[in-house]
Amino acid sequence: MTTRLLGAVAALALLAACSNTDQNAAQTGAGNTIRPGSQEDLVANVGDRVFFDFDSSQVRADQRPVLQRQAEWMGRYPDVRVQVQGNTDERGTREYNLALGQRRANAARDVLVASGVNGARITTISFGKDRPTALGSDESAWAQNRNATTVVQ
């Protein structure tokens, strides 16, 4: 009787351990753990990009919470430096889109700084229309490509 009871307890413990491992593998993808303060951590737990309206570099009200979360996340990892990359959709000239992408990157950086992040930890760059997130020439693709993406350096 005691042997059966111990066997049952051991089986339950083993199932519980396997269940936790499977759950963690699902959360982190293929069993890998996400390193705190990494790009993967930022993407999985905070969000790495904010989106803009057509021909605008003003951070939309619905996108400010993403930047707030990024600022809080950076507060937890004071050694992390980031680059904010401004992007545009394919419409417009290369020169215009490079300038618009830079304004978008700067706008996102300004919100991070206003939220308490030391500006020395943030660099900006514009890729204009050269690095699209989504391929296609329709509003769905264009909306995804109008963004500022935060990348851990």
Say yes or no to pLDDT of 26 above 80.
Answer: no
Say yes or no to pLDDT of 30 above 90.
Answer: no
Q: How confident is the model at residue 1 (pLDDT cuts 50, 70, 90)?
A: low
14 vs 77, higher pLDDT:
77
Contact 148, 139 (CB under 8 A): no
Q: Could you report the per-residue pLDDT of 108-137, keeping only the tens digit for each?
A: 999 999 999 999 999 999 999 999 999 999
pTM score of the predicted model: 0.79
Domains of the chain: 37-152 (3.30.1330.60)
Residue 67 CB contacts under 8 Å (≥ 6 apart), including other chains: 50, 59, 108, 111, 112, 115
pLDDT value for 31? 60
Which conformational region is residue 87 in: left (phi greater than 0), alpha (psi within -120 to 50 degrees), or beta? beta
Cα separation values, 80 from 86, 115, 137, Å: 19, 16, 36
